Amino acid sequence: MNLSDFKRSTLMYAVLILMLIGLATFSVFPIFNAVTAKETTSQFNFESQEELNQRAQGYQLVLDREPENQTALRGLLEIRLKQGDLTAAVGPLETLANLNPDLTDYRLLLAQTKQQLEDYAGAKSIYQDLLNQYPGDIRILQGMINLLLPLDESQTAIDLIQKTLSQNQLTGDNLIGVQLLLGQVYALSDRFSEAIAVYDQMIAANQQDFRPLVAKAIVVRNQGDTETASNLFTQALSLAPTQYQEQIQALANLRISE
């Protein structure tokens, strides 16, 4: 996908923020994000690598005796993530995922880890299995889309979202989240009129919801229509709960060059 740095840093960031502030069901993995952002030194400097290695050896001794000891597996996983050693994190993470088939978080984190390690086929397989089991789950769908877009598979992403919308009885925040995701993918694929059409449909159907207003504002501003964008941000601020207004104002204040 030949997207500019501007679109990656501004449009993607902003629409994902919409999901984070607007959907209680959407979550990420803070410790994983900290590691992949290469901030482990500053965030975990209270433990030296030697101390972490000693703790890891202790957990490994337990696992040598009890391979399915989940306390030791979680402890070892946490240390490997703190160390930024994603390759070593795969083993305990796969075991935890197998031991807890009904917990999607372990499999989601495993898919993210494989993606970071450029095992795209492995990541895609996990996401697909999860989507077969939980076809309307916004977190899983977002994960798959985040995998597909950098692989130049935007049409596959769009088809997947449209299939989700047509085949699942989505309601409430889950429906809004999937619709926002469709608009996001259209916008990132330079299909701006289709993105705006999605947001206009959402605005008409949800006149008290600030999220599609902000999403549309981002798209039209990136096209150079700052006046319309400003009006949309103002409308969104008038509708948004107090706890979201600071984030929306920050998005409204972003300069087009950022």
Domains of the chain: 5-190 (1.25.40.10)
For residue 32, the model assigns a pLDDT of 47
Cβ-proximal residues to 78 (8 Å cutoff; 6+ apart), any chain: 31
Radius of gyration of the chain (CA): 20
Residues 61-104: tens digit of each pLDDT: 999 999 999 999 999 999 999 888 999 999 999 999 999 998 89
For residue 255, the model assigns a pLDDT of 67
What does the alpha-carbon distance between residue 43 and residue 41 come to, in Å, rounded to a whole number?
6
Q: Which token pair is 162? A: 């449209």
For residue 212, the model assigns a pLDDT of 92
What does the alpha-carbon distance between residue 101 and residue 257 come to, in Å, rounded to a whole number?
45
Q: Which token pair is 117? A: 């390690």
Q: Which token pair is 43? A: 């965030």
- Residue 251 CA: distances (Å) to CA of 12, 14, 112, 143, 258: 12, 7, 27, 23, 11
* Segments in the chain below pLDDT 70: 1-47, 255-258
